[in-house]
Structure 1
Amino acid sequence: MLKNNLKIGVFDSGIGGLTVLKKLLQGFPRGVDFFYFADTARVPYGSKPIETLRGYVGEIFDFFFQLGIDAIVTACNTSDSILSQREKQNLPVPYFSIIDPTVRAVGSIAPKGSEVSILATSNTVRRSLYLRKLFRYENLRRITQKACPLFVPIIEEGIWEGEIVDAVVRYYLAEINRMEPDYLILGCTHYPFIRKVIEASISQKTLLVDPADYILVDLKNWIGETGDKESRVTYYVSGNPESFQRILGRYFQREGNVIPVDLVDERITIRG
């Protein structure tokens, strides 16, 4: 058994990755120190130029390496979609994709003739990584994707239910509802914040897929047995730490150890 907790870096453009972190904490109540980076000063990632995002991700990785992390979990579908397989494999620590295990799971469990739809950011749809990987499975008859650019800004504002969310969800899901796919992948980690609204808006035959469930399986297979020290989380936030702390209180029903960081000269440094 490990004496010291493993150090796992988890990152997202904002609060969306908290939906992944929640699953990870449930899966690893002991033995892991999580370092969550929320790039709230530069959210959303879903509509920014790809080269700009590649720079952001590189800065986050460099920051994680300074912290001495043992592995990186991407809790951002957009970031995962812009990195090549070679870039992921050439990192000095293991990298856990959120897209790859989801594709493997859906591709392996879907009966022949199944239809799959993906809700995602504009950049994830543009990169079409889910689409290209799912096309390899002959049991899938039709695969479609839908960009939902308004979801992330609304969720980051803390609007997770009510008339605004209902209207936006109905607007984006209108075409998908006509198709009634067998599986609907939440291709952005922000989207589980409005899962109940999405579920209420789709056909009963459509199964909602949360990629966080499958990245947890991959991480469990890699980690194996953990130590017995309680898992902890340290949050690093590039935007407003007070606002992020309020989100933590609302989502986890408790405050967290939130450390503000500065973005200076393409580097991330701890404030103060």
Structure 2
Amino acid sequence: TRATVKSGIYEQRLQALLPGARIFSRPCPLLVPLVEEGWLSRRETKMILRRYLHPLRREQIDTLVLGCTHYPLLKQLIGPRIGRRVNLIDSSVEVALHVREFLHHNPELRARLQGNRAASRFFVSDCTAPVRQLAAKIFGREILLEKVKIP
């Protein structure tokens, strides 16, 4: 989001890990609504991606962090538009790997979580057909979504 980019948190953390790296952050506010509408391969989505990725191609980046949970769904479109030599990092996969590592080093917490085999519940603020289709695409099956009202 614009707020995340403006905060500079990614730059700060990445500079701490990779001193001297050139880091470019770009908000992409139009991508989330396109994904949520299920427009994953529409011409409009491809045009907007080209517009967002062009400045990064000019900078000849070598790595692109997909910093939003929606962006991995566009990975098949992003890859060819950013270039084959650019490494795409799915932040959700990286978070999952860190959680796994954390749980590996905290066996008591892991045991408590494994003992709690409650059914998963999915809450959404908007339960439209595109949202249900997107959820089915993400999970590989139809799932029950529960609509909640946000005050």
State the TM-score bracket (shorter-chain normalisation). Answer: 0.7 to 0.9
Greater mean deviation of Cα atoms: 131-140 or 225-234 = 225-234
1:111-158: CA deviations, max 9, x gaps?
A: xxxxxxxxxx21211111101222224544311111111111111111
Trace 1:131-210 onto structure 2 (pairs within 5 A).
131-210=11-90
Distance 2:83 2:150 in 1: 44
Which contiguous aligned blocks of 4+ residues in structure 1 show a shift greater than 6 angstroms? 228-231
1:202 offset after TM fit, Å?
1.4
Correspondence 1:245 to 2:132: yes
Question: For structure 1, which runs of at least 5 residues remain unmatched after alignment?
Answer: 1-120, 265-272
Change (3 A) 1:170 1:231: farther
Give secondary structure in 1 for the equivalent of 2:21: strand
Match of 2:107 in 1: none
Distance 2:58 2:33 in 1: 26
Change (3 A) 1:232 1:199: farther
- Higher relative contact order, structure no. (Cα contacts within 8 Å, ≥ 6 residues apart): 1
Correspondence 1:216 to 2:96: yes
Check whether the contact 2:37–2:131 (CA below 8 A) recurs between aligned residues: no
Trace 1:46-85 onto structure 2 (pairs within 5 A).
none
Percent identity over the alignment is 26
Change (3 A) 1:152 1:210: same
Question: For structure 2, which runs of at least 5 residues remain unmatched after alignment?
Answer: 105-109
Distance 2:85 2:20 in 1: 16
Check whether the contact 1:122–1:147 (CA below 8 A) recurs between aligned residues: yes
Distance 2:28 2:58 in 1: 17
Distance 2:125 2:75 in 1: 26
Identify the structure with the greater strand proportion: 1
User: Which amino acid letter does the alignment assign opposite residue 166 of structure 1?
Assistant: K
1:230 offset after TM fit, Å?
6.5
Correspondence 1:236 to 2:128: no
Distance 2:50 2:134 in 1: 25
Check whether the contact 1:180–1:205 (CA below 8 A) recurs between aligned residues: no
Aligned residue pair count: 144
Distance 2:96 2:85 in 1: 25
User: Which amino acid letter does the alignment assign opposite residue 145 of structure 1?
Assistant: S
The CA RMSD measured in Å over matched residues stands at 2.3
Change (3 A) 1:241 1:202: closer
The TM-score, its normalising length taken from structure 2, stands at: 0.82
Match of 1:256 in 2: 143
Change (3 A) 1:157 1:241: closer
Identify the structure with the greater helix proportion: 2
1:213-255: CA deviations, max 9, x gaps?
A: 2211221133335538867421012222655333222332312
